[in-house]
């Protein structure tokens, strides 16, 4: 459903458009699939900062016991998947 597509990126809980765009094409037949914003480093930095701020609020609301369990699990997973 093409009417559901947006020519914007969801960054920092908002839709952000860009004057510069990129065409996305089907590699099989070359047909146009969509057009997306051509965001750069500034938008990526903003998105990362917004995501970190959002995650920090949720993380701060958890108990120390829960945070410890999450960090222990993360440590176990990193060790299990290390070279």
Q: pLDDT tens track of the chain, all 83 residues?
A: 566 777 888 877 788 888 889 999 999 999 998 888 898 888 888 888 988 888 898 899 999 999 999 999 999 999 999 87
Contact 16, 9 (CB under 8 A): yes
The pTM assigned to this predicted structure is 0.48
What pLDDT shows up at residue 61?
Answer: 93
Structure tokens at 10: 């969801």
What pLDDT shows up at residue 50?
Answer: 85
Residue whose entry in the numeric block shows the structure tokens 């609020």: 57
CA angle 9, 28, 18 (to 5 degrees): 20
What pLDDT shows up at residue 64?
Answer: 95
Rounded CA-CA distance 63/67 in Å is 6
What pLDDT shows up at residue 35?
Answer: 87
């Amino acid at each position: 459903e093409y009417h559901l597509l947006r020519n914007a990126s969801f960054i920092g809980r908002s839709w952000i458009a860009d004057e510069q765009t990129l065409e996305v094409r089907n590699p099989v037949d070359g047909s146009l699939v969509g057009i997306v914003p051509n965001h750069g480093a500034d938008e990526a930095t903003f998105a990362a900062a917004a995501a970190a701020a959002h995650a920090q609020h949720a993380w701060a609301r958890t108990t120390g016991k829960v945070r410890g369990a999450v960090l222990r699990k993360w440590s176990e997973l990193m060790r299990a998947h290390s070279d």
